Chain A
Amino acid sequence: MDNKNSIFRFLIPSKGYNILFYLAIPIVIMALYLTFIWSPVERTMGEVQKIFYFHVGSAWNAFFAFFVVLVFSILYLVKRKRIYDIIAGVSAEIGVVFTAIVLATGPIWAHSAWNTWWTWEPRLTTTLILFFIYIAYIMIRNMEGEWQKKARLASVFGIIGFINVPIVFMAVRWWETNLHPVVLGDGNEQSGGGLEPSMLFTLLFTVATMTLVYFLFLRKGIYIEQLRLETSKLKAKWQEKEINREAS
């Protein structure tokens, strides 16, 4: 009976998820409207500038996702609850997706702004290294062996991977200033101070929307992981039953 309950629990999406989901639909449409129709077209760069909203939104979310990995890695090492490990793992995967978006949109932006596909701009470079760090994190998670071992090792890596981020950023920034001091100044202007109020509003709105989407993904990812777990448990139970029946 207990067992059945737990299956049904996972088959029905939770109320929280539904609320989040139906809230997300109008907000995403709103964000798209703000980005593509409402916000003004940038003077020098034109339509391409609109990619900026997604670029920044993804970057923020990637960092946030990896911060969640850090928090739940620590929690796992302290409490040893499987759910913490699942959350860390799902968050890392979403983070890698967002990082990939940043890395894909960055060159498009760079091409229009500076007429070059790739710049060793500190934020972009740090994101690239982040991408590699969390690919490595996912590789640890895909190691062979029992989940406790993988969770333990991944947690250790999730912690040192994140504390490495500010150091990487500092190193890349200093290194980059030595290489091309001019581009950095440009970059600063275009992503900060000189933003029109309507653009700033759109930016903030998109970032918030993407954060909401992050939580949707997270919830969905955890749900899928739990289903997978439940399936493998049922399988194991069924196998055991078969073995016992054959034995008797």
Chain B
Amino acid sequence: MIETNGLSKTIGEKTIVRPINVSFQGAETVAILGPNGAGKSTFLNMIAGLIKPTSGLISFHGNALKKDDYTLKEKIGFLSHQSFLYDYFTPIENLIFFGRMYKVENVRERAKQLIDEVGLKLFQNEPVRSFSRGMLQRLAIARALIHNPEYLLLDEPHTGLDQQAVSILNEVIKARQKEGVTVLMVTHDFQQVTDTCTRALIMRNGRLVDDLSISELGQDTLDSRYQAVVKSS
């Protein structure tokens, strides 16, 4: 369970995220929707412990996230806009470095298995610098999964992915769902939301403006709900 309590962030004079109270239970897969600049990434970064909130609390299973609570942070897998990968390293080397940072056992096997899973086997020994955006994104997803996280935070995971990669990603998410992983996913792809998510949050201007359960909605209604919420002022 993840819970935020009055979580907000101000950078410069600008309030990017206004106090947000929300909680995510067990094996939920939650989509975070909203126009560009709504503060979705900032919100996700705060939960990942990367951005220090201006005010408010984040707690996992009732324990507040502290900056030196590494055992808790270890359970989070985070995919950011940025890939976090090193240009001069091959996929294998990148995954092994991060795997070791997460103290994964049998890193090499695990890395190979993940590279297989995201379909980069042919390129596993080529430096990442020559990769296309989609290939990088695949590897970045593998990086976020390397330590079998209990909480998965994905920021626009679908960008740059081809059709095949999108279905791989959906498989991955569904598999994690079964294991009871909480997935928070920022996305603009409504098709994927209705396919994989159980719940959707809509953000606008740093505010959480809607919170709906997908199973009770068809795609049309999600779309119209989104349009209605985002357009209204």
The count of residues in chain A whose C-beta lies closer than 8 Å to any C-beta of chain B is: 8
A-facing mask of B1-45, CB < 8 A → 1, else 0? 000000000011100000000000000000000000000000000
A10 at the interface (CB under 8 A from B): no
CB pair A236 B13 closer than 8 Å: yes
A189 at the interface (CB under 8 A from B): no
A81 at the interface (CB under 8 A from B): no
- Tell me the minimal C-beta distance from A162 to chain B in angstroms: 25
- Tell me the minimal C-beta distance from B232 to chain A in angstroms: 12
A-facing mask of B120-163, CB < 8 A → 1, else 0? 00000000000000000000000000000000000000000000
Q: Give the residue name and chain of the B residue nearest to A152 (CB).
A: B52
Q: Give the residue name and chain of the B residue nearest to A146 (CB).
A: B12
Tell me which of A148, A247, A248 contacts B12 (CB under 8 A): A148
- Tell me the minimal C-beta distance from B10 to chain A in angstroms: 8
In the complex, chain A residues whose CB is within 8 Å of the CB of B233: 247-248
In the complex, chain A residues whose CB is within 8 Å of the CB of B12: 146-148
- Tell me the minimal C-beta distance from B207 to chain A in angstroms: 15
In the complex, chain B residues whose CB is within 8 Å of the CB of A111: none
In the complex, chain A residues whose CB is within 8 Å of the CB of B11: 146, 148
Q: Give the residue name and chain of the A residue nearest to B10 (CB).
A: A148
- Tell me the minimal C-beta distance from A39 to chain B in angstroms: 51
For chain A residues 201-248, which have a beta carbon within 8 Å of chain B?
Answer: 232-233, 236, 247-248
- Tell me the minimal C-beta distance from A177 to chain B in angstroms: 46
- Tell me the minimal C-beta distance from B145 to chain A in angstroms: 32
Main secondary structure of the interface of B (DSSP, over half): loop
Q: Give the residue name and chain of the B residue nearest to A233 (CB).
A: B13
In the complex, chain A residues whose CB is within 8 Å of the CB of B13: 232-233, 236
A201 to B16, CA, bound (A): 57
Q: Give the residue name and chain of the A residue nearest to B11 (CB).
A: A146
A31 to B39, CA, bound (A): 58
A25 to B174, CA, bound (A): 77
A84 to B137, CA, bound (A): 42
- Tell me the minimal C-beta distance from A155 to chain B in angstroms: 14
A183 to B11, CA, bound (A): 53
A164 to B12, CA, bound (A): 30
Q: Give the residue name and chain of the B residue nearest to A145 (CB).
A: B12
Q: Give the residue name and chain of the B residue nearest to A244 (CB).
A: B233
A147 to B13, CA, bound (A): 8
A248 to B233, CA, bound (A): 10
A233 to B13, CA, bound (A): 8
A146 to B16, CA, bound (A): 13
Q: Give the residue name and chain of the B residue nearest to A148 (CB).
A: B11
- Tell me the minimal C-beta distance from B67 to chain A in angstroms: 14
In the complex, chain B residues whose CB is within 8 Å of the CB of A147: 12
- Tell me the minimal C-beta distance from A127 to chain B in angstroms: 35
In the complex, chain B residues whose CB is within 8 Å of the CB of A233: 13
Q: Give the residue name and chain of the B residue nearest to A80 (CB).
A: B54
- Tell me the minimal C-beta distance from A96 to chain B in angstroms: 26
- Tell me the minimal C-beta distance from A230 to chain B in angstroms: 11
B-facing mask of A81-121, CB < 8 A → 1, else 0? 00000000000000000000000000000000000000000
A247 to B233, CA, bound (A): 10
A244 to B3, CA, bound (A): 33
A248 to B231, CA, bound (A): 12
A147 to B233, CA, bound (A): 30
A-facing mask of B98-124, CB < 8 A → 1, else 0? 000000000000000000000000000
A248 to B12, CA, bound (A): 27
- Tell me the minimal C-beta distance from B153 to chain A in angstroms: 23
In the complex, chain B residues whose CB is within 8 Å of the CB of A236: 13
A146 to B13, CA, bound (A): 8
- Tell me the minimal C-beta distance from B160 to chain A in angstroms: 28
- Tell me the minimal C-beta distance from B213 to chain A in angstroms: 32
- Tell me the minimal C-beta distance from A193 to chain B in angstroms: 53
In the complex, chain B residues whose CB is within 8 Å of the CB of A248: 233
A222 to B11, CA, bound (A): 22
CB pairs A–B below 8 angstroms (5 shown): A146-B11, A148-B11, A148-B12, A236-B13, A248-B233
- Can you list the 5 inter-chain pairs with the closest CB atoms, starting with the nearest? A146-B12, A146-B11, A236-B13, A147-B12, A233-B13
A233-B13, A248-B233 known; 7 new pairs, CB 8 Å cut-off, are: A146-B11, A146-B12, A148-B11, A148-B12, A232-B13, A236-B13, A247-B233
